[in-house]
Amino acid sequence: MALSARRMRRPLDIWPGFVDALASLLLVIIFVLLVFALAQFFLGATLHDRDASLRSLEGEMAKLAEVLALERKSKDTLGAEVARLSGELQASLAQRHSLEQQIQGVTGRAEQAEAGLAEEKKLSESARAAAALLDQQLSAMREQLAQLAAALDASEKKAAEQDVQIQTLGQRLNAALAGKVQELARFRSEFFGRLRQVLGDRPDIRIEGDRFIFASEVLFDPGSAELEPAGRTQIQRVAETLKQVAKTIPPDVDWILQIDGHTDRTPIATPQFPSNWELSQARAMSVLRLLHDYGIPSARLAAAGYAEYKPLDPGDSEAAFRRNRRIELKLTQR
């Protein structure tokens, strides 16, 4: 009987093993959920960085589109004015042609009337009264002819004045543009001159044409878009110099500091910079943000990245690559 009782209780010993199996399965599930949560966190951070870069690029594209729209609007306005003046000129010429045809018709009738008058002089006294009436009609026709000739002269004078207005408008526009360009060139020269004095005569910081060029090594570590302390100092000097020069620029000169990032042909593919496009754009934006932090208004700043597609040196040497890795500053007009 005792043996039979022990055999009846033996199935109850399976339950602890079953509990252990459930606990192990629960731990595995918790571990999988933890791995999934971490993966989601890192993926979300990566997507956030890329979204920020895309928003920045969209902002720059919007600014460029706004500048392009303003330029197109100015061009369209001038084109509409020229088209209007041309239309008025064509209308004047058509009116002139119509007046010439009327003059020819009046002249023909006058000649016919004069011929008829010669014949009428041979008629009787009763016919002379009709000739006198015809004389009056001829005088009226000649007066109408004179009025038509005066109207034609006025039309020609108006057409000539419109031609002069078009030429004067073009000359004034060209003169205004040339004056603004010369004025901006003078301030650019002053800005670059002061900047050269502030930064000193260094081989890795140079002026070429209308651009002030920083070698990338002055501002950034290789493969990085974060300004180094020494680079931040150089950009601060640029900002202080630009603020001094900006005080002397007249309000009607719509100037802007264009910041262009360039790389060499060495490819880059990192999570932060999938290509040289992103690297050059990020470096230009780093300089722009720092200039803004040092007091340059946002409306006076623009940035663009050109990757390796505008090299200064087409060679394959390290010296050529070093020359092509650069940040360019250009004081220009919208």
| 114: pLDDT strictly greater than 80 | no
Q: How confident is the model at residue 130 (pLDDT cuts 50, 70, 90)?
A: low
CATH value at residue 101: 1.10.287
What is the per-residue DSSP string for 256-293? Answer: EEEEEEE--S-----SS-SSHHHHHHHHHHHHHHHHHH
Task: Confirm whether 239 is domain-assigned.
Answer: yes
241, 299: one domain: yes
Task: Confirm whether 224 is domain-assigned.
Answer: yes
* Residues 276 and 307 sit within 8 Å (Cβ to Cβ): yes
Most confident region among 16-20, 171-175, 281-285 by mean pLDDT:
281-285
Residue ranges with strand state E in 163-319: 205-208, 211-215, 255-262, 301-305
244, 132: one domain: no
Q: Among residues 308, 311, 257, which one has the least CA distance to residue 287?
A: 257
323, 230: one domain: yes
Task: Confirm whether 20 is domain-assigned.
Answer: no
| 1: pLDDT strictly greater than 50 | no
State residue 297's pLDDT score.
Answer: 94
Task: Confirm whether 117 is domain-assigned.
Answer: yes
114, 228: one domain: no
Centre a 10 Å sphere on the Cβ of residue 167 and count the other Cβ atoms it contains: 10
State residue 3's pLDDT score.
Answer: 47
225, 302: one domain: yes
206, 124: one domain: no
Q: Given the DSSP bridges, would you call strands 205-208 and 211-215 parallel, antiparallel or unpaired?
A: antiparallel
Q: Given the DSSP bridges, would you call strands 301-305 and 255-262 parallel, antiparallel or unpaired?
A: parallel
Task: Confirm whether 320 is domain-assigned.
Answer: yes
The pTM is what? 0.46
Q: Which of 123, 148, 180 finishes a domain?
A: 180
CATH value at residue 327: 3.30.1330.60
241, 308: one domain: yes
* Residues 323 and 278 sit within 8 Å (Cβ to Cβ): no
174, 209: one domain: no
pLDDT mean across residues, the chain: 80
* Residues 327 and 213 sit within 8 Å (Cβ to Cβ): yes
What is the per-residue DSSP string for 52-105? Answer: HHHHHHHHHHHHHHHHHHHHHHHHHHHHHHHHHHHHHHHHHHHHHHHHHHHHHH
Can you name the residues that pair with 208 across neighbouring β-strands? 211
Count up the domains in the chain and report the number. 2
Q: Among residues 293, 191, 328, 166, which one has the least CA distance to residue 246?
A: 191
95, 156: one domain: yes
| Residue 216 belongs to domain spanning | 202-333
* Residues 201 and 216 sit within 8 Å (Cβ to Cβ): no
Q: To which residue do tokens 């008058």 refer?
A: 117
176, 280: one domain: no
176, 206: one domain: no
Task: Confirm whether 100 is domain-assigned.
Answer: yes
Q: Among residues 252, 251, 257, 307, which one has the least CA distance to residue 278?
A: 307
Task: Confirm whether 217 is domain-assigned.
Answer: yes
Pairwise CA distance, residues 229 & 226, whole Å: 10
| 239: pLDDT strictly greater than 60 | yes
Q: Which of 120, 147, 180 finishes a domain?
A: 180
Pairwise CA distance, residues 178 & 187, whole Å: 14
What is the per-residue DSSP string for 50-64? Answer: HHHHHHHHHHHHHHH
State residue 197's pLDDT score.
Answer: 65
State residue 159's pLDDT score.
Answer: 73
Pairwise CA distance, residues 302 & 16, whole Å: 71
| 177: pLDDT strictly greater than 60 | no
171, 212: one domain: no
Q: Which two tokens stand for residue 319?
A: 């010296």
Q: Which of 112, 145, 180 finishes a domain?
A: 180
Percent of the residues in the chain that have a pLDDT greater than 70, as a whole number:
77
Task: Confirm whether 141 is domain-assigned.
Answer: yes
Pairwise CA distance, residues 173 & 74, whole Å: 11
